[in-house]
A and B are shown apart, each in its own frame.
Chain A
């Protein structure tokens, strides 16, 4: 019984002494692998944070540009609505005119006289 006990204990120790380094190696490997994975995850996380930050900046830029464009369009629309009629000269409607009325304006009379003279000289050459 004692011999068996000794044999069992010795065998156990022998197996233990054989397995321990391997187990330690495996555990160490696992730990290293875990650590490498964590580092990669941290790196990825950092990159993601950086990308997010960049996207956030781009979005902010776009928002600024959008607001500026909206303001510009709004200003142009207002300008167009108010400026168009002011930029056009209206011609008096002829529909109200029914009878001739000689002008009394001296400058107009002078111009009309000159016009008639030009037309008369044109006829002389006919």
Chain B
């Protein structure tokens, strides 16, 4: 008799996370590295590497990040790469899966992903998954923490930022906004700002990501941030305290505006309740002081209260898994 496994997947631009009904959870970089030449292929013993392993060996690989701006790029290579990533993470998370076993999955996608993007995900996963449920990522976050009453979910990912107001029912299109700014946008801003002040420093995407993840902040005060970078190979210390805050504010400002718009267009009787229940998720929720900055931007509206989810990395995947597990079997049958 075949076993049915349930999995919740957060297919993100930067990271893909999975939570399974067997209690496992894994996360990997959403990237595939294809060997640049036969020498590289011989070295690795296979034509491609996945996730963090690919990133560690990227000098010998052509890197493909298939989810630009949070959705699958519409080209063959991106579709193939997405399929490889999903296949690999499922194999790793469910080593006990045998031939004939089935996998029912809920996959979180950006709130306003187009029908074409959703179709692309269903097509890509057809060979890997038995049944697929496409869900809006902020709804997965809400499901993970059981918050369906008046609250505003802000999911700051690498490619996009999703905002979704919950009001006790499935959110409609007007309840959701997807901004094309996220962690990757912030990386670009930090790179440009550092190079503008220190034109000769040597930077890479990994260095910028490390700086952002370790020091990123939007609070009003911070200890001096001094990082060691190289100039023609010679390491030197560079002060980037102000640069970093200005860049981070370029990410939080549009989020604040979108939040104000969603609050301002909500039923006036419930606006205050919405303002008092702002929930920040996704990798961007790790920016120091982001909750306070969002609260502050609501001052003209009468103030608000924002809180960050604790488990930003797996929150979406756990919500999607919870949805899978709570879905009646007859609902699954329809898919």
Contact = CB atoms under 8 A, between A and B. Distances in A.
Interface of A: 87-92, 94-103, 107-116, 119-120, 122-123, 125-126
B122 A122 contact: yes
Contacts of B134: 119, 122
Interface in B256-277: none
B115 A98 contact: no
Interface string B209-228: 00000000000000000000
A97 to B, nearest CB: 6
A97 B311 contact: no
A92 B311 CA distance: 9
B331 A113 contact: yes
B103 to A, nearest CB: 13
Nearest to B317: A94
Interface residues of B, number: 49
Interface of B: 4, 6, 8, 19-25, 115, 118-119, 122-123, 132-135, 144-145, 147-148, 168-170, 279, 291, 307-311, 314-315, 317-318, 321-329, 331, 334-335
Q: Is the interface of B mostly helix, strand, loop or mixed?
A: mixed
26 contacts: A87-B291, A87-B307, A89-B147, A90-B311, A91-B144, A92-B145, A94-B8, A94-B19, A97-B23, A97-B325, A99-B325, A100-B6, A102-B327, A102-B328, A103-B327, A107-B169, A108-B326, A115-B133, A116-B334, A119-B133, A119-B335, A123-B122, A123-B335, A125-B115, A125-B119, A126-B122
Contacts of A125: 115, 119
B122 A89 contact: no
A99 B21 contact: yes
Contacts, number: 116
The 3 closest A-B pairs by CB, nearest first: A103-B326, A91-B311, A102-B328
B329 A91 contact: no
A89 B23 contact: no
Given A91-B315, A114-B170, A119-B335, A107 B133 contact: no
A122 B119 contact: yes
B318 A111 contact: no
Contact of A102 (B25, B133, B135, B329): B329
B261 to A, nearest CB: 23
Contact of A98 (B22, B122, B315, B335): B22
Contacts of B329: 102
B321 A88 contact: no
A119 B322 CA distance: 17
A7 B333 CA distance: 153
Nearest to A103: B326
A41 B30 CA distance: 82
B135 A122 contact: no
A111 B144 contact: no
A92 B144 contact: yes
A125 B120 CA distance: 12
Contacts of A89: 145, 147, 279, 307-310
B23 A98 contact: yes
A73 to B, nearest CB: 11
B328 A122 contact: no
A110 B170 CA distance: 8
A85 B314 CA distance: 18
Contact of B327 (A97, A110, A112, A122): A112
Contacts of B118: 122
A94 B9 CA distance: 13
Contacts of A107: 148, 168-169
B308 A87 contact: yes
Tell me which of A88, A97, A99, A108 has the highest count of chain B C-beta atoms within 10 A of its own C-beta.
A97
Contacts of A91: 144-145, 309-311, 314-315, 318
B334 A120 contact: yes
B25 A95 contact: yes
A90 B22 contact: no
A88 B307 contact: yes
A86 B333 CA distance: 41
Contacts of B326: 100-103, 108, 112
Given A88-B309, A94-B23, A116 B133 contact: yes
Contacts of A109: 328
A100 to B, nearest CB: 4
